[in-house]
Amino acid sequence: MRGLRFWAGLAPLALLAACGTSGGSSGSAVSVDGETIAKGTDADWLSYGRTYDEQRFSPLKQINTENAGQLGLAWFADLDTARGQEGTPLAIDGKLYISTAWSKVKAYDVASGKLLWEYDPKVPGDAAVKACCDVVNRGLAAWGDKLFIGSLDGRLIAIDRATGKELWSVVTVDQTKNYTITGAPRVVNGLVIIGNGGAEYGVRGYVTAYDANTGKQAWRFYTVPDQPGKNTAEYLKKAEATWKGDYWKLGGGGTVWDAMAYDPALDLLYIGVGNGSPWNQAYRSPGGGDNLYLSSIVAIHAKTGEYAWHFQETPGETWDYTATQHIMLADLTIDGKPRKVLMHAPKNGFFYVIDRTNGQFISGKNYVPVNWATGLDPKTGRPIENPQSRYDKTGKPWIGSPGPGGAHSWHPMAYDPAEGLVFIPAQITAFPYIPDPKWKPAAMGFNTGADFAAGSMPADPKVREAALKSTTGALVAWDPVAQKERWRLDMKGPWNGGLLATAGGLLFQGNATGNFVAYASKDGKPLWTFPAQTGIIAPPITFTVKGEQYVAILAGWGGSFALSPGIVALKSGATRNVSRLLVFKLGGKAVLPATQPIVEAPLNPPPATAPAAVVAQGGQIFGRYCGVCHGDAAISGGVTPDLRHSAALGDAKTWQAIVHDGALTANGMVGWSKVLSPSDIDAVRAYVIKRANEDKALAQAKATK
Ligand code: CA
């Protein structure tokens, strides 16, 4: 045994000597360029989706279905942020580079687990109020000897990969507006491409390309038109005709906050465009229209930034059905013919296969139950809408499935070419879309035109139980050629981690229950499970160092589902945030420190004495401004403070100091004096006191049963 390991350790060195390569004991440095990112290297993970096609499939098979059970923790590193960790690490030449919550970057030596350097862009705490979905970051881009990160407050920053020193920084958004960046940049043709988010807050979406060496802007591509008459590009003039009213005053939305893919042979960059701003189309574009290019895949000539084609998945979007989800490219044989396709499982619940040379619809089928559309037009791919789903037109509430959380969110899929399967971290959710007849745009907070207070979860055990039961998740193995499911694993709840597939026949996923699992790709049989002590939402990567295969993943519960949905965020249970980088290999022997079980403290609020009208006013304000971070009906998903337990509830002055004056701004809780008066803020306190008393009574009733 000992001898065998000795031999295995020497082999890569012997190989190096034979090849006569230079570069010292760590081997020759990989050249991080368009060619290596397009093809991928076995030893590294060079780009967000591993390769430009974003398949997240590794050819490595040292760890495989035979030995996955021998996986163990090689080492771990605790992180200095306690919010959602959504990042895909990069692995280059035996080093790991990660981005964490609050857009921080860290570099580690894989063999030793040693921290090499860290970089903190010092995002101001008040940037958090512009972020719909936690202060997360999904990853870095690499090119040459540089790394690139988009910071939450809207900067694109170049870092020296060897030292972690900042090389250049550009502000890529109007920082007076509600833009954020959480997505990973991509680099093509020496240009760093970065998008942004903010479509819940009244912004206009775009992507920008910057020279990787200098940070000089090369081009910018807007996804929605400016005011009529102000659009010069032909594709925006065409889009103008699909909008009505004063849409440009509300921003329009269409932010590109996550997915991109690139085909070097076609030189086409594919971007996924987000939802409309505000959601409710009756406000955004009164009278309807397709509202191009919302909820579309758009192909852009990468060198020039010119429009090539688009495919709109949800015309006249009104449900927060973004098309920003993972875009994956593959070459498939369909009806006996080789096709260059783009595959997409957006929020709206349909799996699309599109010809990536021209945007032509090939096929589409729902991968979870949906009720907003009965299917897709087989020729055009246009959805056949259920007319009742248009709460913007009917003016009536609509319980939509999927809800704004989507049938699939940002969590990356993975592809196994040998099995011919795309794996989807899917979710089954619903949401009450209720038009808000009194809606007016505000400078801060959610601007959706939907009434979040009216649809808030009541303190009724039966309703809560039904909501918990119907909110769930699945790991779906989808055959994109046949457009059907081959296997499915039902998960305890939604918001499970992104995926990695390998030539070892393995599919890796961390999940919301706090486990990191290796499955057999062919049938979904679990082969290995690691209890991670916290919900995992990020996707894993794999790579080798000196010939030994590793698997790395960020752990740490958070993201939008941990913040806004209230009680259903607790569905899977593991809602503690323990933010860590976990690195595994065969025979790894490291162990995590023991944790205490999660014990929920009993509620002990002051008595509810405020008049019903004040509580109702507070509920309305809470629904619009507070619930997005502190949870529907003031029930926290375990990442942001649960206000029902707040010590400030019993102290009106402290409450005002925090909520009105912004005493906790550095932590991400800004003051709301711009949009809320002191009496509004007192009403919110009355509402939270009422909610805490209701839940205390429920808990007591349950205990005495
Ligand atoms: Ca959105």
Q: 319: CA distance to ligand 1 center in Å?
A: 9
Write the DSSP string, 373-406. EEEE-TTT--EEE-GGG-HHHH-S-EEESS-TT-
Residue type at 131 in one-letter notation: A
- Residue 690: C-alpha distances to residues 457, 570, 581, 610, 651 (Å): 14, 21, 40, 8, 15
Q: 147: CA distance to ligand 1 center in Å?
A: 28
CATH 2.140.10.10 segments of the chain? 57-449+460-586
Q: 322: CA distance to ligand 1 center in Å?
A: 6
**Alpha carbon distance, N-terminus to C-terminus of the chain:** 59
DSSP structure class, residue 625? I
**Residues 515-525 as b or e (16 or more Cβ within 10 Å = b):** bbbbbbbbebe
Residue whose C-alpha is closest to residue 511's, from 535, 532, 475? 535
Asked whether the CA dihedral 30, 34, 37, 39 is positive or negative, the reply is negative
Residue whose C-alpha is closest to residue 204's, from 277, 150, 133? 277
Q: How high is the pLDDT of residue 347?
A: 98
pLDDT less than 70: residues of the chain: 1-27
* CATH topology for the 612-704 domain: Cytochrome Bc1 Complex; Chain D, domain 2 (1.10.760)
Residue whose C-alpha is closest to residue 145's, from 82, 76, 110, 95? 95
Answer for the pair 389, 348: CB distance below 8 angstroms, yes or no: no
Q: How high is the pLDDT of residue 539?
A: 98
d(CA 293, CA 281) in angstroms, rounded, equals 14
Q: How high is the pLDDT of residue 27?
A: 55
Q: 200: CA distance to ligand 1 center in Å?
A: 6
Q: 288: CA distance to ligand 1 center in Å?
A: 19
Helix (H) or strand (E) holding 689: helix 678-704
Residue whose C-alpha is closest to residue 425's, from 316, 313, 304, 561? 561
Write the DSSP string, 283-295. HHSTT----TTTT
d(CA 490, CA 416) in angstroms, rounded, equals 20
Q: 69: CA distance to ligand 1 center in Å?
A: 39
Helix (H) or strand (E) holding 4: helix 2-19
- What are the start-end ranges of the H helices in 215-287? 234-240, 281-284
CATH 1.10.760.10 segments of the chain? 612-704
Q: 558: CA distance to ligand 1 center in Å?
A: 17
Query: Can 320 be counted among the known catalytic residues?
Result: yes
Domain 57-449+460-586 maps to which CATH number in 3.40.50.360, 3.20.20.70, 3.30.830.10, 2.140.10.10?
2.140.10.10
Residue whose C-alpha is closest to residue 274's, from 368, 356, 180, 342? 180
Q: 581: CA distance to ligand 1 center in Å?
A: 28
Q: How high is the pLDDT of residue 575?
A: 77
Determine how β-strand 57-58 pairs with β-strand 499-502.
parallel
Asked whether the CA dihedral 170, 172, 178, 179 is positive or negative, the reply is negative
Q: 305: CA distance to ligand 1 center in Å?
A: 24
Q: 582: CA distance to ligand 1 center in Å?
A: 30
Q: 255: CA distance to ligand 1 center in Å?
A: 8
Q: How high is the pLDDT of residue 114?
A: 98
Residue type at 161 in one-letter notation: R
Q: How high is the pLDDT of residue 257?
A: 98
For helices 652-659 and 678-704, angle between their N-to-C axes, nearest 10 degrees: 120
Residue type at 653 in one-letter notation: K
Q: 408: CA distance to ligand 1 center in Å?
A: 13
Q: How high is the pLDDT of residue 652?
A: 96
pTM tops 0.75, yes or no: yes
Residue tagged active-site, from 44, 53, 263, 320: 320
Q: 199: CA distance to ligand 1 center in Å?
A: 6
